Amino acid sequence: MNTPKIEGDLRERIIEQPDVILNDHDLMRALVAANERSMGANVVDLRGIAMERLEARLDRLEDTHRSVIAAAYENLAGMNQVHRAVLRMLDPMDFETFLRDLGGEVAEILGVDFAHLVLETQQEDEDPTVRRLGQVLRVVPPGFVSAYAERERNAPARQIVLRQVSRGTTEVYGSNAEWVRSEACLRLDFGPGRMPGMLVLGSEDPHLFTPQQGTDLLSFFAGSFERTMRRWLQ
């Protein structure tokens, strides 16, 4: 039986650049398979088995590598979003503009559909400022923040709560409550002698905020928001 010979030009190219074959996974598989067929059915090629296992391990490592890179890019994008939002909050020179920006440009930068500042108060009379900023500001009775942030939970209070919801609450979202599918609750501490507050970010996307996500960036945003608010509360 005559064995087909490789053409001269192709043979010379392979000899000059053997790495081309070694780096081609499909070609290496074909060569290994041809070698196994030539040995017959009664021979077990342990080296071939080892190569298959190493190849499977390499594929898993490559998948992990791609996942790590994707997560790194996602974290970097999230960090840039939060930094831009914080810088935007530092621009306004008056409180009303500050709050209007929260529900406008800041919410847009963060990629959320709704942003509301919830403030606890013991006053029963509605302040004129509340009426003017009703689209963003929510004034609630004492205890509301804790009850809202930790509802249906027995765990200790946390600063950041991420969750998926079937719909929002009218106390926070008003007429837009039915569109909310996930939210982030950022509890705020305005200092000694002041009642707590909360920043609520809502989204129509049920996957934007989930309990499995990290909260480091939102904690930074909440801390920046607290310090900015204290300036207006002085």
The 10s digit of each residue's pLDDT in 81-125 is 888 999 998 888 888 888 888 989 999 999 999 999 999 988 765
CA distance 171 to 33: 68
Domains and CATH numbers, the chain: 8-61 (no CATH), 67-233 (3.30.450.40)
**Residue-level pLDDT at 157:** 59
Which pLDDT score, from 0 to 100, does residue 12 have? 78
Is pLDDT larger for residue 220 or for residue 71?
220
Residue 187 has pLDDT above 60, yes or no: yes
Give CA torsion, residues 216, 218, 223, 229, to 10 deg: 180
pLDDT tens digits, 32-76: 666 666 665 565 566 666 767 777 787 788 778 777 776 666 777
Render 105-119 in DSSP notation, one character per residue.
Answer: IIHHHHT-SEEEEEE
3-state class (DSSP) for residue 193:
coil
| Total length of the chain | 234
Closest-CA residue to 114 (of 103, 130, 98): 103
pLDDT of residue 127: 61
* pLDDT given at position 198: 94
> What is the separation, in whole angstroms, between the first and last Cα of the chain?
97
What would the DSSP string read from start to end of 108-163? HHHT-SEEEEEEE----SPPHHHHHTTTTEEEE-TTHHHHHHTTT--SPP-SEEEE
pLDDT cut 70: percent of the chain above it:
79
Residue 147 Cα distances to 114, 121, 139, 143, 184, angstroms: 20, 15, 15, 6, 15
For all residues of the chain together, what is the average pLDDT? 81
CA distance 234 to 231: 6
Average pLDDT over residues 140-153: 84
For residues 35 and 32, give the distance between their C-alpha atoms in angstroms, rounded to a whole number. Answer: 5
Q: Any idea what the Cα angle at residue 143 is, between residues 172 and 126, rounded to 5°?
A: 60
Residue 143 tokens, joined: 């205890």
| pLDDT at res. 16 | 78
Q: What angle do CA 156, 158, 159 make, to 5 degrees?
A: 160
Cα–Cα separations (whole angstroms), residue 181 to 15, 165, 206, 210: 62, 5, 5, 10
Contact between residue 89 and residue 101 where contact means Cβ atoms under 8 Å apart: yes
